[in-house]
């Protein structure tokens, strides 16, 4: 079992994200954390089908970890359906879940892919704006190590959920149901969890009913470690960077 000090590790974060992916159903996997989380779920036997922005549904787990959702060469042999990006967008409301990266996000579920409060500006969220606007069950994955990247209201909105969507934000420190009435669902033990609850409470989220995060199993940790080893060979920073300490 993972020790309390490991609850905010990259592996533990990916395991908790994998746990909430609906098994035996099609899900949309966005770039970065979503692709890794779905691969962990697959290694644990979830049996999901991945839908990619490039216009493909992949049912068997690709032999090679895709370097992005448009890395068609890595999953060409496992494609069970191929259409256009617009075809796939039309399917989004019918998918069991949509997983998107949320590097900077607010308690309403709005994402800013440009980089909050920074001189650096990335290229933005690509197709995430269209996907988020159509998803019914949206899982936002925030794998960064600074809880201050979760804010009351992002300064620029690159993606916003539909008004009737169920939106859950998963982080290294716990998970939050975001929206009109944000509420922390669970939190890790110790100081990282306390700092997380304090920060979210200051942003207006309800924290009183937060549950302790369930410990990861050896099998789950092994699956996550295997995926991170693959990620290191495919250009993912998550596979090569040192563990990021949680900060308030």
8-24: per-residue pLDDT in tens?
999 999 999 999 999 99
Structural domain contains residue 138: yes
Q: Could you tell me the sign of the dihedral formed by the alpha carbons of 177, 182, 188, 192, in that order?
A: positive
Global pTM reads 0.92
Cα 36 to Cα 57: distance, rounded to the nearest angstrom: 16
Residue 24 falls in which region: left (phi positive, over 0), alpha (psi -120 to 50) or beta: left
Strands 79-82 and 105-106: unpaired
Percent of the chain residues topping a pLDDT of 90: 82
Q: What pLDDT is stored for residue 238 in this prediction? A: 82
- Domain assignment of residue 159, given as a range: 4-239
pLDDT tens string 81-135: 999 999 999 999 999 999 999 989 999 999 998 766 654 455 556 678 999 999 9
Structural domain contains residue 246: no
pLDDT tens string 131-162: 999 999 999 999 999 999 999 999 989 999 99
pLDDT tens string 39-77: 999 999 999 999 999 999 999 999 999 999 999 999 999
- Which is more confidently placed, 112 or 206? 206
Q: Please report, for residues 3, 12, 121, 148, 211, the alpha-carbon distance to residue 197 in angstroms, rounded to integers and kept in the order given.
A: 20, 18, 29, 12, 11
Structural domain contains residue 245: no
pLDDT tens string 156-197: 899 999 999 999 999 999 999 999 999 999 999 999 999 999
Cα 159 to Cα 41: distance, rounded to the nearest angstrom: 25
Structural domain contains residue 111: yes
Supply φ then ψ for residue 185, to 5 degrees: -90, -40
- The CATH number assigned to the domain holding 12 equals 3.40.1080.10
How many domains would you assign to the chain?
1
Structural domain contains residue 247: no
Structural domain contains residue 99: yes
Q: What pLDDT is stored for residue 208 in this prediction? A: 97
Structural domain contains residue 161: yes
Structural domain contains residue 180: yes
Instruction: Number of helices (H) and strands (E) in the chain: give both, helices first.
Output: 7, 12
């Amino acid at each position: 079992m993972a020790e309390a000090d490991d609850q905010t590790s990259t592996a533990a974060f990916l395991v908790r994200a994998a746990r909430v992916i609906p098994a035996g159903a099609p899900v949309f996997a966005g770039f970065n954390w979503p692709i890794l989380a779905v691969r962990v779920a697959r290694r644990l036997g979830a049996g999901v089908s991945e839908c990619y922005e490039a216009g493909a549904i992949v049912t068997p787990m690709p032999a090679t970890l895709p370097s992005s959702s448009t890395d068609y060469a890595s999953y060409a042999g496992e494609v069970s359906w191929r259409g256009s990006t617009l075809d796939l967008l039309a399917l989004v409301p019918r998918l069991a879940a949509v997983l998107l990266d949320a590097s900077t996000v607010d308690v309403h579920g709005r994402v800013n892919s440009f980089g909050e409060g920074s001189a650096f500006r990335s290229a933005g969220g690509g197709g995430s704006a269209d996907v988020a606007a159509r998803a019914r069950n949206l899982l936002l994955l925030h794998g960064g190590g600074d809880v201050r990247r979760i804010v009351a209201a992002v300064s620029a909105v690159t993606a916003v959920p539909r008004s009737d969507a169920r939106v859950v934000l998963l982080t290294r420190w716990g998970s939050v149901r975001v929206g009109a009435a944000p509420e922390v669902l669970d939190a890790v033990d110790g100081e990282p969890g306390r700092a997380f609850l304090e920060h979210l409470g200051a942003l207006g989220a309800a924290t009183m009913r937060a549950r302790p995060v369930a410990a990861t199993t050896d099998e789950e940790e092994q699956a996550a470690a295997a995926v991170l080893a693959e990620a290191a060979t495919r250009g993912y920073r998550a596979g090569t960077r040192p563990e990021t300490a949680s900060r308030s």
